[in-house]
């Protein structure tokens, strides 16, 4: 039964992404400011299908810890689910994502125009400086930055190595850094066709103090990610 539900969900996910991206190019030309709300509506539809066909529910606590205006959400990353859910929870999310995604056919050219921020992970210091500038502009526009400090999806009960980008953003911006932990990988595993029924938990922690040094910042994020009890 769950295998059939997963099959239906995957058809909806990939089918709607493909057909929706075609219409997205129309919006990009005629009403580019509607690209993000359009993507947010699509994400809400996908997560509704996830619940209906796969029995996966979402429980979020601590949203009140996200301050109004610009903020940096340093989120744990276990699943493709994490790249969808913040579209439904934040007013103006800007994901930091790998530049390779912008080169995907049809969908890729819509990423940056919708307000997302591409990072060339092989670009060294120049790419990091450009990232800092793009994030600063997004924060000034009142957007919420979503960054995955682990840099890739990390399986549940596994510790990842946090990348230095979050430290650079914390040092160069006056915006609060808000840790977010999750157990999304228990229901939606990496590259897994079958989605497991259950509840995905998301916990938004209070913003970290702005005067933390590199070691303290990383230690606080690791504590939120790997000692949250999920």
Question: How high is the pLDDT of residue 227?
Answer: 86
What are the two backbone dihedrals, phi and then psi, of residue 219, each rounded to the nearest 5 degrees? -65, -40
Gap between the terminal Cα atoms of the chain: 27
Q: Nearest-5° angle of CA 116, CA 81, CA 71?
A: 45
Domain range summary for the chain, segments of one domain joined by +: 56-226
Which pLDDT score is estimated for 132?
87
- According to DSSP, the β-strands at 93-98 and 177-182 are unpaired
Q: What is the pLDDT of residue 1?
A: 62
What residues are paired with 157 via a beta bridge? none
- Do the Cβ atoms of 160 and 152 come closer than 8 Å? yes
pLDDT tens-digit readout, 181-197: 999 999 999 888 899 99
So what's the pLDDT on residue 157?
87
Rg (CA), the chain: 17
Q: What is the pLDDT of residues 52-90, one digit of tens each?
A: 999 999 999 999 999 988 899 999 999 999 999 999 999
pTM of the model: 0.93
Which residues of the chain, if any, have pLDDT below 70? 1
Are the beta carbons of 150 and 79 closer than 8 angstroms?
no
Structure tokens at 189: 């595993």
Would you state the pLDDT for residue 192?
86
């Amino acid at each position: 039964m769950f295998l059939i539900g997963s099959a239906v969900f995957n058809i909806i996910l990939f089918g709607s992404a493909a057909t929706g991206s075609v219409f997205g190019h129309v919006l990009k030309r005629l009403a580019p400011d509607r690209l993000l709300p359009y993507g947010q509506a699509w994400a809400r539809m996908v997560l509704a299908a996830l619940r209906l066909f796969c029995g996966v529910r979402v429980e979020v606590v601590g949203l009140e810890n996200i301050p109004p205006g610009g903020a940096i959400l340093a989120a744990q990353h276990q699943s493709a689910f994490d790249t969808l859910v913040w579209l439904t929870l934040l007013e103006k999310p800007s994901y930091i994502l790998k530049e390779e995604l912008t080169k995907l056919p049809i969908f890729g050219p819509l990423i940056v125009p919708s307000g997302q921020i591409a990072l060339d992970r092989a670009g060294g210091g120049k790419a990091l400086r450009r990232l800092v500038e793009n994030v600063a502009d997004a924060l000034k526009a009142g957007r919420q930055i979503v960054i995955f400090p682990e840099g890739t999806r990390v399986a549940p009960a596994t510790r990842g190595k946090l990348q230095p980008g979050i430290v650079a953003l914390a040092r160069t911006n006056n915006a609060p850094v808000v840790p977010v932990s999750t157990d999304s990988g228990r229901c939606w595993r990496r590259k897994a066709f079958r989605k497991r029924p259950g509840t995905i938990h998301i916990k938004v922690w209070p913003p970290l103090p702005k005067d933390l040094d590199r070691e303290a910042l990383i230690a606080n994020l690791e504590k939120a990610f790997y000692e949250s009890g999920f």
